[in-house]
């Protein structure tokens, strides 16, 4: 049973970052919009979900204790344990609100993309993420400022066994993550996917051909941002709180690294990249080596960061397109064309 927390940790983290990485891949890999402000939407999703649920629960409980205190957090979690239907309803509501707000912000973020592109857009997006983090940390009434907001009851709060509760939540996160994965696959293997690539490869040409480039950019940023906000909301329920200092640029870079490692514009590659980096993060810890009966004579923490950095450098140097490079879009039309071409070739070579 002791191994279970590690499995839960690995696959919950994997699920969250799979959603985040796929959203980045849709925006950057397929549509060429370097949204390096992933953490902004991730944070917005977490804040919306955490704050909404905590507020509704406190309003319902009606206790006169400071909103951000540990006592209030305990009360919220106890209430969650006693109200299974209500917490499930709140969970669904919170995810929906987070996605709507995230999507709306993503739509607004499409405006800078009209004037900026490439590195400049990436920098603006990174700044937007930092502005959000600083605002969240400075403005206490939103999520407790630097102290954070704790005690956000999850959908399985009513389950008494903590291991079972966390396992169920992990499965839920994985189900949602794979739902996002299949949605993204469907999207990019449709005519819309080809349109995204057309915008990415040559905006001018796409415009000349009558494609509404501005609208496409706005749409994909809305979809990607809603997905990132969804990941953030799921994160808030996983950690049962909202802490401003969790929304650092490193979150974005982790998602970017996972995407780069797997392969830009290849969702299967992203899945692989997420899995490899998550396993690397969780299985290069002192606790894991201890479980294997291996004693490490030095503090492995520093070595982990070094190896991670080295890995990124090696990938960029030797596999710049990732482990699974981009492939042509598979559509029935292309398949038919390939078949016809193959047939013709066969006919021409036959006597």
Using CB under 8 A as the binding rule, whether residue 287 contacts other proteins is answered as yes
Contact indicator for 312, 318 with CB cutoff of 8 Å: no
Round to whole Å and give the CA distance between 209 and 345: 31
Residues 341 and 121: their CA atoms lie apart, in Å, by 42
Q: 């299967």: which residue's tokens?
A: 268
Residues 146-185 that bind other proteins (CB under 8 A): 146-148, 150-151, 162, 165
Q: Which residue from 131, 327, 340, 341 is in contact with other proteins, where contact means CB under 8 A? A: 327
What is the Cα 222 distance to its own chain's centre? 14
Task: Please tell me whether residue 5 binds other proteins under the rule CB under 8 A.
Answer: yes
Q: In this chain, which stretch among 54-62, 118-126, 275-283, 308-316 interacts with other proteins, using CB under 8 A? A: 275-283
- Binding other proteins (rule: CB under 8 A), the pick from 107, 183, 192, 288 is 288
In the bound state with other proteins, the residue whose beta carbon lies nearer, of 111 and 182, is 182
Q: Is 69 in the site for other proteins (CB under 8 A)?
A: yes
CB closer to other proteins, 128 vs 213: 128
Residue selected from 83, 117, 207, 268 as contacting other proteins according to rule CB under 8 A: 268
The verdict on 279 binding other proteins (CB under 8 A) reads yes
Min. distance of Cβ 226 from other proteins in angstroms? 22
User: Alpha helix locations (H) across the chain?
Assistant: 4-24, 38-61, 70-82, 84-115, 118-138, 140-143, 162-188, 191-201, 203-208, 213-239, 249-262, 267-283, 286-291, 300-318, 332-349
Query: Does residue 242 sit in helix, strand or coil?
Result: strand
Residues in region 300-319 near other proteins by CB under 8 A:
301-302, 305
Q: Tell me which of 66, 141, 332, 351 binds other proteins, using CB under 8 A.
A: 66
Asked if 297 is part of the footprint of other proteins (rule: CB under 8 A), the reply reads: no
- Residue 332 contacts other proteins per CB under 8 A: no
13 in Cβ contact with 169 (< 8 Å): no
138 touches other proteins (CB under 8 A): yes
Residue 128: HSE in the Cβ half-sphere, 13 Å Cα cutoff: 23
9 binds other proteins (CB under 8 A): yes
> How big is the CA angle at 37 (ends 34 and 38), to the nearest 5 degrees?
95
Query: Which residue, 210 or 293, is less far from other proteins as judged by CB?
Result: 293
**Smallest Cα–Cα separation from 224: which of 40, 59, 2?**
40
Q: Taking CB under 8 A as the criterion, which residues in 209-248 touch other proteins?
A: 239-241, 243, 245-246, 248
Which burial class, exposed, middle or buried, applies to 2 when counting CB atoms under 10 A from its CB (0-12, 13-18, 19+)?
Answer: exposed
Q: Shortest Cβ distance from residue 253 to other proteins (Å)?
A: 14
Count the residues of the shown chain that bind other proteins, applying the rule CB under 8 A: 62
31 and 206 Cβ atoms separated by less than 8 Å: no
149 in helix, strand or coil?
strand
We find the least distance from the C-beta atom of residue 47 to other proteins, in angstroms, to be 13
Among 114, 134, 205, 345, binds other proteins (CB under 8 A): 134
Binding test (CB under 8 A) with other proteins, winner from 20, 57, 230, 272: 272
- Tell me which residue of 217, 261, 216, 220 sits closest to 18, measured CA to CA: 261
Nearest approach, Cβ of 85 to other proteins (angstroms)? 21
Q: Under a CB-based contact definition with an 8 Å cutoff, are residues 10 and 278 in contact?
A: yes
Give the CA angle between residues 80, 82, 86 to the nearest 5°.
60
Q: Which lies closer to other proteins via its Cβ, residue 1 or residue 208?
A: 1
Residues within the interface to other proteins (CB under 8 A): 2-9, 13, 66, 68-71, 73-74, 77, 134, 137-138, 145-148, 150-151, 162, 165, 239-241, 243, 245-246, 248, 266, 268-269, 271-272, 275-276, 279, 282-283, 285-288, 290-293, 299, 301-302, 305, 323-324, 327-328, 330
């Amino acid at each position: 049973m002791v191994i279970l927390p590690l499995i839960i940790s690995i696959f919950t983290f994997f699920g969250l970052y799979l959603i985040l990485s796929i959203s980045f891949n849709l925006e950057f890999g397929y549509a060429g919009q370097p949204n390096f402000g992933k953490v902004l939407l991730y944070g917005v999703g977490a804040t919306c979900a955490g704050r909404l649920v905590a507020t509704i629960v406190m309003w319902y409980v009606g206790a006169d204790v400071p909103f951000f205190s540990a006592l209030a957090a305990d009360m919220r979690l106890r209430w969650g344990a006693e109200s299974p239907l209500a917490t499930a309803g709140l969970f669904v509501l919170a995810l929906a609100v987070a996605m709507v707000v995230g999507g709306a912000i993503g739509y607004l973020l499409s405006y800078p993309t009209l004037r900026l592109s490439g590195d400049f857009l990436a920098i603006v997006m990174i700044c937007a993420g930092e502005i959000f983090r600083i605002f969240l940390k400075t403005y206490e009434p939103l999520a407790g400022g630097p102290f954070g907001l704790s005690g956000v009851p999850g959908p399985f709060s009513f389950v008494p066994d903590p291991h079972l509760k966390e396992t169920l939540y992990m499965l839920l996160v994985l189900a949602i993550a794979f739902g996002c994965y299949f949605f993204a696959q469907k999207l990019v293997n449709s005519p819309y996917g080809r349109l995204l690539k057309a915008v990415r490869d040559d905006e001018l040409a796409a415009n000349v051909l009558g494609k509404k480039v501005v609208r496409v950019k706005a749409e994909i940023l809305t979809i990607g941002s809603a997905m990132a906000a969804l990941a953030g909301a799921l994160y808030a329920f996983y950690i049962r709180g909202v802490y401003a200092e969790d929304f650092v640029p490193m979150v974005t870079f982790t998602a970017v690294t996972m995407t780069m490692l797997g392969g830009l514009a290849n969702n299967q590659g992203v899945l692989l990249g997420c899995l490899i980096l998550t396993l690397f993060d969780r299985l290069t810890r002192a606790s894991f080596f201890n479980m294997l009966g291996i004693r490490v004579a030095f503090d492995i923490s520093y070595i982990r960061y070094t190896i991670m950095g080295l890995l990124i450098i090696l990938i960029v140097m030797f596999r710049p397109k990732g482990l699974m490079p981009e492939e042509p879009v598979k559509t029935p039309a292309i398949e038919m064309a390939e078949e016809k071409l193959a047939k013709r070739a066969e006919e021409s070579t036959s006597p």
